[in-house]
């Protein structure tokens, strides 16, 4: 039997298209020794079989491909057992190996102990890549005999001393973890060595098929600030996202909490920070050796924590920063506009075109866009009248990087004149009396996207007059008398028709919306009948906001009575001006367009100044659902019939939002606190402050992390685009609480620094499979409930909380099942819950 590996090695040698000094024995398939070589088509495999080292050529999707748009071949490490080939480290990033050189390419240990990639042409050898440790005498023991390369089970490739003494450990001379590319594996450090000065900085790929040095980098600042910086690689570099526990103490704890609360990632990813006399670094560890994870910096400038899903046979991003793809500096290149909520976020400015369309298709947009028509300006012109260029307005955008202030220009015309007088000036903007101009290329112009970017500025970009003939001739042509008469006639006729239309509209409604002394305005969202209140009227209605009904993340709610004795709930938006405006637009825009018996009715609003933004709702005399389910004192115990009707009512309201509105509205924060009950305990969904509106042409919306812990769908952790199925997941969690009459995570006992919680969804699906639904129902009902309806609700709830959004039903299907019009099979155990079914308790640190 010992001859079998030798036979296989010889057979591989005979079949090879190139000659190697010696084949690699099977028993040493994770090690490359002096005198051995690794050729194209061969690979080293780590002892645990998880990683492989070899030569590859990136394809259009990052896979090995014999015919590819990649510039060449590379030495790389990748996941060995995952079908989707994913390189985690690349050696010769800037020196790809051309196809004709493949037969003569080898990886070997050189005579001076370096690991090198060489191309042998006739009598000459050229080194394509080297570990470059031959001259580093400080890292080489004086009694060193030889060195070898070993691919460890962690994915780290090390060059180490081969000491013949079994009692001595082999010193590491070089390791790939110290020479990162775009990916960090568990155990790899992002940081620096204070003794040697080594700073580990990751750099993104140039494109999806080119591992060359890309546009973005990530590393730890070495001045003691503990700041991790993600930057655009320009001179000087532009930092667009950073984190430090000193400046943002909540971010990493929040991430840790999310990872702990998700059974799929609980214990899988553990962040670590170390700062001692020798080193300062961040890294993460994984307690599950069978899992495959990596932290990447992709070509768009976003950092992502990725986990391999065996069920989906795909990489899943469980954490993304920054969430908005437009946040990275110049992510779309010069003269481009970024819209984070779009499926294709980057587009060229008007009259510009892509400089290199093939690069755009591969994710490399560093060259951005170019003018289709040259400007009518040259360096020897100094008069503003010498150029016929026009300035085209781009509204509601962020202003580009690198503005220059013009002191003597306080009006738009003066600002434009200042820009026109300089041939290098490409754009200007005026804010109040402040004039800003830009010279050369324009970077990082972003549109409002309801994710992280809110922009209200107008940028005037300089364009060739030939692209806008109407605008160019506007100042030279005078309308004729006949033309003016015709224009006046058309305008007068249009005004008359508008007045008639308004009169017909008021007659059809048969009333004006006067209430409490308020003036009847439309909200600007097409919501005729939503009343615009004066702040003084609402102060009087609420007795100067004296009776507080509750508070939320965006404001407090007060009880009020209007002049016609209508009881209302007045929500006063708190927080910063930016948050208030965003909240105000979201809630008025969403609720002003919808009317449904199971949705709280928006009566009116107030908008006076920055700090006087209020929303006026119909008042729900029975409060919120949580007060009847969870409060131990003074609560009204809801009977089963009421609970069942509440479940159906909430489902109908969500179904209306998702499927019956003009645009799909995702609530984003379904929980018992946001279900209000009227005098007949009819449920009404409230608090649309976090809602996202999705056009009917799109099925997803990219949005910032939001919602309430305990009701969050797994996809919230990824930071990628969501669907209405996040509401379905939250609704399933609410159903569990309606059935049990208690929180899904209920405290069991307290210990020092932590507490244990019994996670009810685990118990619910287990009991459902066992046919023991009765034990799940709230004991306060004393057995007075319909077993058939309870089982139906539990089935729906368990289908709603499935891991994959495609496995969850729509809210329309939920309504039909709850009403008994459609049947459901027994739901499977969600993978997230399966991870904790062996234990009755889940522990969370606080």
- The reply to whether 186 and 172 lie within a common domain is no
- The reply to whether 381 and 468 lie within a common domain is yes
Q: What CATH number corresponds to the domain at position 576?
A: 3.30.200.20
Decide which of 120 and 515 is more confident: 120
Residue 792 has pLDDT above 80, yes or no: yes
Helix intervals (H) in 680-781: 725-740, 760-770
Q: What CATH number corresponds to the domain at position 645?
A: 1.10.510.10
Beta strands in 238-302 (DSSP E): 238-243, 270-275, 279-285, 293-297
**Residue 486, domain member (yes or no):** no
521-530 own/partner pairs: CB under 8 Å, 24+ apart = 523/588, 523/589, 523/592, 523/605, 525/588, 525/589, 525/592, 525/593, 526/592, 526/593, 527/588, 527/592, 527/593, 527/602, 530/588, 530/592, 530/602, 530/603, 530/604, 530/605
Q: Is the dihedral of CA 214, 220, 222, 227 positive or negative?
A: positive
Which residues have C-beta within 8 Å of that of residue 222, sequence separation ≥ 6?
192, 199, 280
Annotated binding site: 571
| Of residues 187, 189, 202, 181, the one with CA closest to residue 289 | 187
Which of 438, 457, 472 is at the close of a domain? 472
Place of tokens 């909540």: 250
Tally of CB atoms within 10 A around 261: 18
Q: How large is the greatest C-alpha to C-alpha distance in the chain, in angstroms?
A: 105
Highest average pLDDT, of 62-76, 509-523, 701-715, 780-794, comes from 780-794
User: pLDDT-based confidence at 181, cuts 50/70/90?
Assistant: very high
Tally of CB atoms within 10 A around 497: 10
Provide φ and ψ at 370, rounded to 5°. Answer: -130, 155
- For residues 559-597, b (16+ Cβ closer than 10 Å) or e, as one string? bbbbeeeeebbbbbbbeeeeebbbbbbbbbbbbbbbebe
The tokens for 691 are 């809602």
**Residue 346, domain member (yes or no):** yes
- The reply to whether 21 and 145 lie within a common domain is yes
Which residues have C-beta within 8 Å of that of residue 524, sequence separation ≥ 6?
none
Catalytic residue of the set 669, 687, 727, 803:
669
Residue 733 has pLDDT above 90, yes or no: yes
User: pLDDT-based confidence at 502, cuts 50/70/90?
Assistant: low
| Of residues 398, 366, 245, the one with CA closest to residue 301 | 366
Which of 428, 453, 472 is at the close of a domain? 472
Report the first-to-last Cα separation within the chain, whole angstroms.
58
C-alpha 825, offset from chain centre: 34
Residue 181's SS3 state is coil
793-811: average pLDDT: 92
Decide which of 620 and 383 is more confident: 620
User: pLDDT-based confidence at 478, cuts 50/70/90?
Assistant: very low
Residue 597 has pLDDT above 60, yes or no: yes
Peptide bond into 801 cis (omega under 30): no
- The reply to whether 342 and 317 lie within a common domain is no
Active site residue 626: no
Highest average pLDDT, of 65-69, 693-697, 787-791, comes from 787-791
Residue 835 has pLDDT above 70, yes or no: no
| 511, 531 Cβ separation under 8 angstroms | no
- The reply to whether 640 and 770 lie within a common domain is yes
Question: What pLDDT score was predicted for residue 429?
Answer: 96
- The reply to whether 612 and 639 lie within a common domain is no
d(CA 335, CA 813): 46
Q: Helices (H) and strands (E) in the chain — how many of each?
A: 15, 46
Q: What CATH number corresponds to the domain at position 49?
A: 2.90.10.10
Tally of CB atoms within 10 A around 647: 25
Question: What pLDDT score was predicted for residue 6?
Answer: 37
Are β-strands 445-446 and 336-338 bridged in parallel, bridged antiparallel, or unpaired? Answer: parallel
For residue 628, give the H/E element and its range.
helix 625-629
Which of 271-275, 385-389, 490-494 has the weakest average pLDDT?
A: 490-494
- The reply to whether 316 and 340 lie within a common domain is no
Provide φ and ψ at 331, rounded to 5°. Answer: -65, -25
Burial bucket for residue 179 (CB in 10 Å: 0-12, 13-18, 19+): middle
Q: Is the dihedral of CA 371, 377, 382, 386 positive or negative?
A: negative
User: pLDDT-based confidence at 263, cuts 50/70/90?
Assistant: very low
Residue 509 has pLDDT above 80, yes or no: no
User: pLDDT-based confidence at 646, cuts 50/70/90?
Assistant: very high
Domains identified in the chain, total number: 5
d(CA 550, CA 568): 13
- The reply to whether 535 and 439 lie within a common domain is no
What digits encode the pLDDT tens for the residues 84-110? 899 999 999 999 998 888 888 999 999
**Residue 480, domain member (yes or no):** no
**Residue 510, domain member (yes or no):** no
**Residue 489, domain member (yes or no):** no
**Residue 508, domain member (yes or no):** no
d(CA 729, CA 588): 25
Residue 287 has pLDDT above 90, yes or no: no
Annotated binding site for ATP: 571
**Residue 502, domain member (yes or no):** no
Mean pLDDT taken over the chain: 78
- For residues 458-478, b (16+ Cβ closer than 10 Å) or e, as one string? ebbbbbbbebbeeebeeeeee
Which of 263, 292, 322 is at the close of a domain? 322
| Of residues 627, 674, 705, the one with CA closest to residue 262 | 705
Residue 68 has pLDDT above 60, yes or no: no
The tokens for 199 are 């700073």
- The reply to whether 640 and 686 lie within a common domain is yes
| 730, 670 Cβ separation under 8 angstroms | yes
- The reply to whether 569 and 658 lie within a common domain is no
772-775 own/partner pairs: CB under 8 Å, 24+ apart = none
Question: What pLDDT score was predicted for residue 489?
Answer: 57
What digits encode the pLDDT tens for the residues 297-355? 999 999 988 888 887 788 888 778 888 889 899 999 999 999 887 778 899 999 999 99
User: pLDDT-based confidence at 686, cuts 50/70/90?
Assistant: confident
d(CA 635, CA 641): 17
**Residue 165, domain member (yes or no):** yes
Residue 149 has pLDDT above 80, yes or no: yes
Residue 591 has pLDDT above 80, yes or no: no
Place of tokens 């046919």: 771
What is the span of the domain harbouring residue 410?
Answer: 336-472
Residue 808 has pLDDT above 60, yes or no: yes
User: pLDDT-based confidence at 744, cuts 50/70/90?
Assistant: confident
Residue 261's SS3 state is helix
Decide which of 449 and 6 is more confident: 449
User: pLDDT-based confidence at 270, cuts 50/70/90?
Assistant: confident
The tokens for 242 are 């950073």
Are β-strands 602-607 and 531-532 bridged in parallel, bridged antiparallel, or unpaired? Answer: parallel
Question: What pLDDT score was predicted for residue 483?
Answer: 45
Provide the whole-model pTM: 0.58
Which of 271-275, 291-295, 515-519 has the weakest average pLDDT?
A: 515-519
- The reply to whether 658 and 799 lie within a common domain is yes
- The reply to whether 594 and 704 lie within a common domain is no
The tokens for 829 are 């155990």
| Of residues 535, 534, 582, 533, the one with CA closest to residue 554 | 582
547-575: average pLDDT: 80
| 570, 616 Cβ separation under 8 angstroms | yes
- How much of the chain exceeds pLDDT 70, in percent? 72
Residue 547's SS3 state is coil
User: pLDDT-based confidence at 664, cuts 50/70/90?
Assistant: confident
The tokens for 429 are 């903007």
């Amino acid at each position: 039997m010992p001859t079998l590996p030798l036979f296989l090695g010889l057979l591989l040698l005979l079949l090879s298209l190139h000659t190697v000094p010696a084949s690699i024995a099977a028993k040493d398939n994770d090690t490359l020794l002096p005198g051995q070589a690794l050729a194209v088509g061969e690979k080293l495999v780590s002892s645990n079989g998880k990683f492989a080292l070899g030569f590859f050529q990136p394809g259009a999707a990052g896979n090995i491909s014999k015919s590819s748009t990649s510039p060449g071949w590379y030495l790389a490490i990748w996941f060995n057992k995952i079908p989707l080939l994913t390189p985690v480290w690349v050696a010769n990033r800037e020196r790809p190996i051309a196809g004709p050189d493949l037969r003569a390419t080898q990886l070997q240990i050189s005579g001076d102990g370096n690991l090198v990639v060489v191309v042998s042409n006739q009598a000459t050898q050229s080194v394509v890549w080297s570990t470059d440790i031959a001259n580093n005498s400080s890292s080489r023991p004086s009694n060193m005999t030889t060195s070898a390369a070993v691919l460890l089970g962690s994915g780290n490739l090390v060059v180490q001393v081969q000491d013949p003494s079994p009692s001595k450990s082999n010193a590491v001379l070089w390791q790939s973890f110290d020479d990162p590319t775009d990916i960090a594996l568990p155990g790899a450090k992002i940081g620096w060595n204070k003794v040697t000065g080594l700073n580990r900085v990751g750099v993104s790929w140039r494109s999806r098929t080119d591992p060359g040095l890309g546009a973005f980098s990530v590393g730890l600042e070495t001045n003691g600030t503990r700041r991790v910086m993600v930057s655009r690689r320009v001179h000087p570099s532009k930092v667009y996202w950073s984190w430090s526990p000193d400046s943002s103490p909540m971010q990493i704890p929040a991430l840790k909490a999310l990872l702990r609360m998700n059974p799929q990632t609980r214990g899988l990813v553990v962040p670590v920070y170390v700062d001692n006399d020798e080193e300062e670094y961040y890294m993460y560890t994984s307690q599950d050796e069978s899992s495959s994870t990596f932290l990447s910096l992709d070509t768009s400038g976003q950092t992502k924590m990725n986990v391999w899903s065996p069920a989906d046979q795909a990489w899943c991003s469980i954490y993304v920063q920054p969430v908005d793809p437009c946040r990275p500096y110049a992510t779309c290149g010069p003269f481009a506009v970024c819209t984070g909520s779009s499926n294709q976020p980057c587009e060229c400015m008007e009259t510009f075109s892509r400089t290199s369309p093939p690069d755009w298709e591969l994710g490399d947009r560093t060259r951005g866009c170019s003018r289709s028509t040259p400007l009518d300006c040259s360096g020897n012109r100094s008069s503003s009248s010498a150029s016929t260029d026009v300035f085209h307005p781009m509204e509601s955008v962020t202003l580009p990087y690198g503005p220059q202030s013009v002191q003597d220009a306080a009006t738009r015309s003066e600002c434009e004149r200042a820009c026109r007088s300089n041939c290098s000036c490409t754009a200007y903007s005026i804010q109040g009396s402040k004039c800003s101009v830009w010279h050369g290329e324009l970077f990082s112009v972003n549109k409002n996207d309801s994710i992280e970017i809110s922009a209200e500025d107008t940028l005037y970009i300089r364009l060739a007059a030939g692209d806008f003939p109407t605008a160019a001739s506007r100042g030279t042509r005078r309308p004729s008398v006949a033309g003016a008469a015709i224009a006046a006639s058309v305008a007068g006729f249009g005004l008359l028709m508008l007045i008639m239309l308004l009169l017909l509209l008021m007659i059809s409604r048969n009333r004006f919306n006067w209430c409490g002394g308020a003036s009847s305005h439309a909200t600007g969202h097409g919501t005729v009948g939503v009343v615009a209140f004066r702040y003084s009227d609402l102060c009087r209605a609420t007795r100067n906001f004296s009776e507080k009904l509750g508070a939320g993340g965006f404001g407090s709610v007060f009880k009020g009575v209007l002049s016609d004795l209508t009881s209302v709930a007045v929500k006063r938006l708190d927080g910063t001006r930016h948050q208030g405006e965003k909240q105000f637009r979201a809630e008025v825009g969403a609720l002003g367009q919808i009317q449904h018996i199971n949705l709280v009715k928006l009566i009116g609003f107030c908008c006076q100044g920055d700090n006087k933004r209020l929303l006026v709702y119909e008042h729900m005399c029975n409060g919120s659902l949580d007060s009847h389910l969870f409060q131990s004192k003074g609560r009204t115990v809801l009977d089963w019939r009421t609970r069942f009707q509440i479940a159906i009512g909430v489902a109908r309201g969500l179904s209306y939002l998702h499927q019956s509105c003009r645009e799909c509205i995702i609530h984003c924060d379904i929980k018992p606190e946001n279900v209000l009950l009227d005098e007949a305990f009819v449920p009404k969904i409230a608090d649309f402050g976090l809602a996202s509106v999705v056009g009917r042409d799109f099925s997803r919306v990219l949005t910032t992390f939001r919602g309430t812990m305990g009701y969050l769908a797994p996809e919230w952790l990824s930071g990628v685009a969501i669907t209405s199925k996040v509401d379905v997941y939250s609704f399933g969690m609410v159903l569990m609480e309606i059935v049990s009459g208690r929180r899904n995570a209920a405290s069991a006992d307290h210990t020092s620094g932590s507490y244990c919680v019994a996670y009810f969804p685990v118990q619910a699906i287990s009991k459902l499979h066992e046919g023991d639904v009765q034990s799940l129902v709230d004991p306060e009902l004393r057995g007075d409930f319909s077993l058939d309806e309870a089982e139906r609700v539990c089935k729906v709830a368990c289908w709603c909380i499935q891991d994959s959004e495609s496995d969850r039903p729509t809210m329309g299907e939920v309504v039909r099942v709850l009403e008994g019009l459609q049947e459901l099979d027994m739901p499977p155990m969600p993978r997230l819950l399966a991870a904790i079914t062996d234990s009755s308790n889940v522990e969370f640190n606080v």
